[in-house]
Amino acid sequence: MSSSMPGPPQDPYDPQANPYATPAPPAQPPQYPGAGYPAAPPVYPGAAGMPMQPNNGMGTAALVCGIVGLVCGITYFLWVFAVILGILAITFGAIGKGKVGRGQANNAGSATAGLVCGIIGMVLPVIYILAVDAALDSIF
C-alpha cells in the first residue's frame, strides 16, 4: 500500500503551499528618477589636484624628544634617558631641517628648537657628572 494523495504534485516553494517561504523577488527592480550617485566631474589633463600636505613629523618628533630629554637632563638621576632622547632629538631635528630645506615641511622652528633642546639635554648630564667628579676629587 502506498500512501499517495490524489491530485497534482505540490511545489515546495509555492507560497500558498508553504506559508513560511520568502516571496520571490520582482523580475526588475523599479527605477526611480534621480536614483544613484551623481556623475563624476570631468578630469582635464594637467589640472591641479590636491596640494601635498607638509610632512612635519620629524620636526615635531625632534621637539618632543628634545623637551623630554631636557627635562630628564635637568633631573640628575634620569641622565641615561636624557642622552638617549638627546641623540634622537638631534637626529630627528637634522632630518626635519633637511625636509624644510627641500620644501617638504614647513616647521623649521620646531626642528631647530628640538635640535637645540636635544643638544642642551645631552650637555647637562655631562656637566653634572663632571661637577660630581670634581666634588669627589676635592673630598678624597
Break the chain into its structural domains and give their ranges: 109-139
Q: At how many degrees (to 10) do helices 57-74 and 108-139 cross?
A: 20
Q: What is the DSSP-derived secondary structure letter of residue 138?
A: H
The model's pLDDT over 78-120, given as tens digits with 9 standing for 90+, comes to 989 999 999 999 999 999 999 999 999 999 999 999 999 999 9
pLDDT digits (tens, 9 = 90+) for 44-88: 776 566 778 889 999 999 999 999 999 999 988 898 999 999 999
Separation CA 135–CA 140 (nearest Å): 9
Give this prediction's pTM. 0.62
